[in-house]
């Protein structure tokens, strides 16, 4: 069947089963948008900024496990999208991002809205394409979805010149891909697995260190089963929250810079660290030469480039995490494990000695309280997104996550402005859940224009702003390490957030008491409209525990310390 390149794009997305596309039109992509107007295969959601289009596609992908799709135009349309691409790349999120490009004859002439999109996207995508011939377009789109969603997932960028979208050729969508140089290792090496299982059987203090790869591999059930059968305690990274479930007796907590005392001490004292889909990020390890320094390391990852990138692996295993943990489960009966009860009991003693907590108040709302309260009221009924800063860490600490993909946050890049558009993608992909976005009064303004998208597209995102009139996390560092020199972090001049969302057509609340918060949350959930709850919180609250930069995980600043 003959069709234009623009129609090929639409037909290819249809063949891939795409139901939602986020984006923003412009000159170089106009032919594709003309076909979007004519088609009835998928819903297009018009964002108000291209960065938000990518974050919304991310929120959709992170919460559903499907490939997120976004379409933008050339030049500034694409450069606006780069932050979203980098955010997805750092967290290994499967996206296909299509950008328009100036006509082929103009490429390299500094034409209007021309930019070297493939050159710019190369460092922050898993793969990218510049389409040179219309005949290649169906194959490229097929490959893009395959590459984005297999192996270690990631964003794939396709740049299409405007003349290619106008040309006509035969369309036949490939049934399979043929990429000889791209063959991710799915099946683990049996000998390596046996060596690792032998090491587990001999260990006295083994620890499962679970990262975001466990979410991406959809192997939460297998990890919980293995931990239970082997009676091995578990620590989660920021990106793995929800894998174990908050009430699992073997979950010691989140580890890292703002991790729990017991979880960090577990990593410090373990004699065998079993890394499952984690990359030894600096915010997790603290001082690298002291991280798990008493332990042998089993490192399981589908990406061979990750293994031994930062930490020596005594037992490296390359393979799909779900398949590998299934292999660990199936061979568990062949090994006589030690009794790890005393080890688990010791870590629980640490939890009792230094529990995750904050000092509540009857006169002012502490910022941790609304997060905890939403968890008590909504629990597993909500999927929770965040922006980046203190509120992000408090959410990771105090929300009772029950299942994988319940916590949507920018971990690797730490992108302020991520939360609201990501929560829009969550709302679109999960209509049976309440989409909650915790934000700060600094982060929320970075993509505030997306309130218009929420209202227009009927996306009932509830944004809860923990307003301390500070750029909170930077203020905390300035207080602790810069002798309280608060350079450009006072945000006392802010808009009236209640009036702001009402101007967009949503519902606004401003609360100063716990009773007011409960009423506002109930009203917002019941009305199922875009809503914003501004909570006036204690200004100088700090995120603790904290491992200061350059320190080991056992060198934590705790509640009650003098912050020295």
**Averaged pLDDT for residues 219-246:** 98
Structure tokens, 261 = 């005392």
Structure tokens, 17 = 């089963």
State the pLDDT confidence band at 562, using cuts at 50, 70 and 90: low
Model confidence over 357-368: pLDDT tens digits?
A: 999 999 999 999
State the pLDDT confidence band at 47, using cuts at 50, 70 and 90: very high
Beta bridge mates, 466: 440, 535
Say which residue the tokens 């969508």 belong to: 173
**Averaged pLDDT for residues 13-30:** 98
State the pLDDT confidence band at 560, using cuts at 50, 70 and 90: confident
pLDDT exceeds cutoff 60 at 58: yes
pLDDT exceeds cutoff 90 at 42: yes
Catalytically annotated residue among 50, 143, 541, 542: 50
Give the angle 556-562-564 at the CA atoms, nearest 5°. 65
Average pLDDT score, the chain: 97
**Averaged pLDDT for residues 336-349:** 97
**Averaged pLDDT for residues 298-305:** 97
Cβ-proximal residues to 183 (8 Å cutoff; 6+ apart), any chain: none
Percent of the chain having pLDDT more than 70?
99
Q: Which pTM was predicted? A: 0.97
Query: What does each C-alpha distance from 323 to 126, 207, 423 come to in angstroms?
Result: 23, 20, 31
pLDDT exceeds cutoff 80 at 69: yes
Decide: helix, strand or coil at residue 246: coil
pLDDT exceeds cutoff 60 at 379: yes
DSSP letters spanning 525-538? HHHTS-EEEEEEB-
Give the angle 228-232-237 at the CA atoms, nearest 5°. 100
Q: Are 152 and 184 a contacting pair, CB within 8 Å?
A: yes
Q: Is-catalytic flag, 556?
A: no
Catalytically annotated residue among 7, 162, 322, 428: 162
Q: Are 518 and 221 a contacting pair, CB within 8 Å?
A: no
pLDDT exceeds cutoff 80 at 564: no
Q: Is-catalytic flag, 438?
A: no
Q: Are 146 and 179 a contacting pair, CB within 8 Å?
A: yes
Provide the total of helices (H) and of strands (E) in the chain, helices listed first. Answer: 21, 20
Structure tokens, 188 = 């683990």
**Averaged pLDDT for residues 262-290:** 97
Instruction: Please tell me the distance from the alpha carbon of residue 253 to that of residue 258, in angstroms, as a whole number.
Output: 11
Beta strands 95-101; 127-130: pairing state: unpaired
Helix or strand run (H / E) with residue 46: strand 43-46
Q: Are 43 and 19 a contacting pair, CB within 8 Å?
A: yes
Q: Is-catalytic flag, 50?
A: yes
**Averaged pLDDT for residues 539-546:** 97
Question: What domains are defined for the chain?
Answer: 2-170 (3.40.50.970), 190-353 (3.40.50.1220), 367-536 (3.40.50.970)
Model confidence over 80-110: pLDDT tens digits?
A: 999 999 999 999 999 999 999 999 999 999 9
Report the candidate in 548, 555, 544 with the shortest Cα–Cα distance to residue 293.
555
Say which residue the tokens 């309440």 belong to: 434
Model confidence over 182-197: pLDDT tens digits?
A: 999 999 999 999 999 9
Instruction: Please tell me the distance from the alpha carbon of residue 179 to that of residue 181, in angstroms, as a whole number.
Output: 6
Q: Are 493 and 441 a contacting pair, CB within 8 Å?
A: no
Beta strands 315-318; 206-210: pairing state: unpaired
pLDDT exceeds cutoff 60 at 161: yes
Instruction: Please tell me the predicted confidence (pLDDT) of residue 561.
Output: 78
Catalytically annotated residue among 257, 473, 546, 556: 473
Percent of the chain having pLDDT more than 90?
99
pLDDT exceeds cutoff 50 at 289: yes
Q: Are 235 and 265 a contacting pair, CB within 8 Å?
A: no
Structure tokens, 124 = 């922050």
Decide: helix, strand or coil at residue 199: helix
Instruction: Please tell me the predicted confidence (pLDDT) of residue 563.
Output: 44
Report the candidate in 216, 215, 96, 93 with the shortest Cα–Cα distance to residue 154.
93
Q: Are 450 and 48 a contacting pair, CB within 8 Å?
A: yes
Catalytically annotated residue among 113, 192, 449, 494: 113
Structure tokens, 354 = 């230094």
Query: What does each C-alpha distance from 473 to 258, 387, 440, 486, 532 come to in angstroms?
Result: 12, 12, 10, 11, 22
Q: Are 47 and 450 a contacting pair, CB within 8 Å?
A: yes
**Averaged pLDDT for residues 370-383:** 98
Cβ-proximal residues to 537 (8 Å cutoff; 6+ apart), any chain: 364, 365, 366, 367, 370, 466, 467, 468
Intra-chain end-to-end CA distance of the chain, in Å: 71
Model confidence over 99-158: pLDDT tens digits?
A: 999 999 999 999 999 999 999 999 999 999 999 999 999 999 999 999 999 999 999 999
Structure tokens, 40 = 């009835």
Q: Is-catalytic flag, 113?
A: yes
Instruction: Please tell me the predicted confidence (pLDDT) of residue 118.
Output: 98
Catalytically annotated residue among 43, 112, 229, 481: 112
**Residue 409, Ramachandran bin (φ over 0: left; ψ between -120 and 50: alpha; else beta):** beta
Structure tokens, 271 = 């004699």
Q: Are 237 and 212 a contacting pair, CB within 8 Å?
A: yes
Q: Print burial letters for 432-444: b (CB count within 10 Å at least 16), e (below 16).
A: ebbbbbbbbbbbb
**Averaged pLDDT for residues 485-511:** 98
Instruction: Please tell me the distance from the alpha carbon of residue 404 to that of residue 2, in angstroms, as a whole number.
Output: 44
Instruction: Please tell me the distance from the alpha carbon of residue 321 to that of residue 339, in angstroms, as a whole number.
Output: 25
Beta strands 127-130; 155-161: pairing state: parallel
Instruction: Please tell me the predicted confidence (pLDDT) of residue 105.
Output: 97
Instruction: Please tell me the distance from the alpha carbon of residue 418 to that of residue 413, in angstroms, as a whole number.
Output: 10
For residue 545, cis peptide bond before it (omega within 30 degrees of 0): yes
Instruction: Please tell me the distance from the alpha carbon of residue 440 to that of residue 549, in angstroms, as a whole number.
Output: 23
With DSSP H G I counted as helix, E B as strand and the rest as coil, what are the percentages for the chain, rounded to 5?
40, 20, 40
């Amino acid at each position: 069947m003959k069709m234009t390149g623009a129609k090929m794009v639409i037909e290819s997305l249809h063949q891939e089963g795409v139901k939602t596309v986020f984006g923003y039109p412009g000159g170089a992509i106009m032919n594709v948008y003309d076909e979007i107007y004519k088609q009835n295969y998928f819903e297009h959601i018009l964002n108000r900024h291209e960065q938000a289009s990518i974050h919304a596609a991310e929120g959709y992908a992170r919460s559903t496990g499907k490939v997120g799709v976004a379409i933008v135009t050339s030049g500034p349309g694409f450069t606006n999208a780069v932050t979203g691409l980098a955010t997805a790349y750092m967290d290994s999120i499967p996206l296909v991002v299509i950008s328009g490009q100036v006509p082929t004859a103009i490429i390299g002439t500094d034409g209007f809205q021309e930019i070297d999109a493939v050159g710019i996207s190369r460092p922050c995508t898993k793969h990218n394409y510049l389409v040179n011939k219309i005949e290649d377009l169906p194959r490229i789109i097929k490959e893009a979805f395959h590459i984005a969603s297999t192996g270690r997932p990631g964003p794939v960028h396709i740049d299409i010149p405007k003349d290619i979208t106008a040309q006509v050729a035969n369309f036949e969508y490939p049934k399979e891909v043929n990429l000889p140089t791209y063959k991710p290792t799915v099946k683990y090496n049996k000998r390596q697995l046996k060596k690792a299982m032998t090491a587990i059987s001999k260990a006295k203090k083994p620890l499962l260190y679970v990262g975001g790869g466990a979410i991406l591999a959809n192997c939460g059930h297998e990890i919980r089963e293995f931990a239970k059968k082997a009676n091995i305690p578990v620590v989660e990274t920021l990106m793995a929250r929800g894998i174990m479930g908050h009430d699992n007796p073997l979950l010691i907590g989140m580890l890292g810079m703002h991790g729990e005392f017991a979880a960090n001490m577990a990593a410090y004292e373990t004699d065998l660290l079993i890394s499952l889909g984690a990359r030894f990020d600096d915010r997790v390890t603290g001082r690298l030469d002291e991280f798990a320094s008493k332990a042998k390391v089993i490192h399981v990852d589908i990406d061979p480039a990750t293994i031994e990138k930062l930490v020596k692996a005594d037992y490296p295993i390359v393979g799909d995490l779900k398949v590998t943990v299934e292999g660990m489960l199936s061979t568990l009966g062949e090994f006589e494990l030690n009794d790890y009860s005393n080890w688990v009991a010791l870590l629980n003693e640490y939890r009792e000695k230094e529990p995750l907590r904050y000092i509540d108040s009857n006169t002012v709302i502490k910022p941790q309280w609304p997060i905890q309260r939403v968890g008590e009221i909504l629990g597993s009924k909500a999927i929770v997104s965040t922006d980046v800063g203190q509120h992000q860490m408090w959410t990771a600490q105090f929300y009772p996550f029950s299942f994988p993909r319940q916590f949507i946050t920018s971990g690797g890049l730490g992108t302020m402005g991520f939360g609201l558009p990501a929560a829009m993608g969550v709302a679109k992909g999960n209509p049976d859940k309440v989409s909650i976005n915790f934000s700060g009064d600094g982060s929320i303004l970075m993509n505030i224009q997306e309130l218009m998208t929420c209202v227009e597209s009927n996306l009932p995102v509830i944004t809860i702003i923990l307003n301390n009139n500070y750029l909170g996390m930077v203020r905390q560092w300035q207080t602790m390490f810069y002798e309280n020199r608060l350079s450009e972090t006072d945000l006392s001049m802010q808009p009236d957030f209640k009036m702001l969302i009402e101007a967009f057509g949503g519902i606004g609340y401003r609360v100063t008491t716990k009773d007011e918060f409960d009423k506002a949350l109930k009203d917002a959930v019941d009305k199922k409209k875009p809503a914003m709850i501004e909570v006036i919180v204690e200004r100088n609250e700090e995120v603790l525990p904290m491992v200061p930069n350059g320190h080991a995980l056992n060198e934590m600043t705790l509640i009650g310390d003098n912050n020295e």
